[in-house]
Amino acid sequence: MMGSYPQWLATGLLGLVWSTFAAAAPPPEAASCAACHGAQGQGMPAANYPRLAGLPAGYLAEQLQHFADGKRQNAIMAGMAKPLSPEAIQTLAAYYASLPVPTEAAGSPPEAALLERGAWLAQYGDLAKGVPACFRCHAAEGVGVPQHFPPLTGQSAKYLADQITAWQQGTRRGDPLGLMQTVATRMSAEDTQAVTAYLAAQKPKAAVVSQPGQGGGQ
């Protein structure tokens, strides 16, 4: 009986049992995801693999489908997504959405001028160029709005810049009303560098914004 064990051992056993049941077991399909995106979905900024942890489940499922049908063109991810059943896609999306948001920024603060320009674009945009603020769609501090507007913080500058380029070149599609493709085509290389460097230097936070009938992202 538990009462026959020393108090420290009983407490430890209870903690182990609780943590075993409290932590969601990764689905089998997540084993191949972890090789690039990290054991906790935290991403690998140095290798340009994005974080998945805490992204909205609806967004993750949608992107896996886009990789499978070619709306997002990436040879590695297409090969990973195409064999997945609809059920497996939903399972993976729910699992990664349930993981805790990383607490560390994906990059270091850039030089002052770049940081200032990037912060301005993220918060206010550049109306003269027809570029809205990033936070207008992706919510204050870039935490994202389920399901179509993902978090921006917690991703590396290179990954974010690569996505802007993909929108510009048409190798990434599927955004609501073509918003990101339109915005991306109006962004200069300098502004892309500034805003992505700024976003990567921000510590990610859990999203608290949700649409009616949807849960907020983690």
Spatial contact of 192 and 180, defined as CB atoms under 8 Å apart: no
Residue 28's pLDDT is what? 93
Helix (H) / strand (E) containing 78: helix 75-81
Residue 99's pLDDT is what? 96
Residue 207's pLDDT is what? 67
Residue 147's pLDDT is what? 86
Enter the pTM of the model: 0.84
Residue 206's pLDDT is what? 80
Task: Give every residue of the chain whose pLDDT is below 70, as ranges.
Answer: 1-24, 207-218
Question: Do the first three CATH levels of 27-98 and 112-200 match, i.e. the same topology?
Answer: yes
Spatial contact of 40 and 100, defined as CB atoms under 8 Å apart: yes
Residue 181's pLDDT is what? 95
**Which of the four CATH numbers 3.40.50.12780, 3.90.1150.10, 3.40.30.10, 1.10.760.10 does domain 112-200 have?**
1.10.760.10
How deeply is 176 buried, as exposed, middle or buried, from its count of CB atoms within 10 A (0-12, 13-18, 19+)? exposed
CB neighbour list of residue 21: distance below 8 Å, 6 or more residues apart:
none
**CATH architecture designation of domain 27-98:** Orthogonal Bundle (1.10)
Sorted by where each begins, the domain ranges of the chain are 27-98, 112-200
Structure tokens at 142: 């870039």
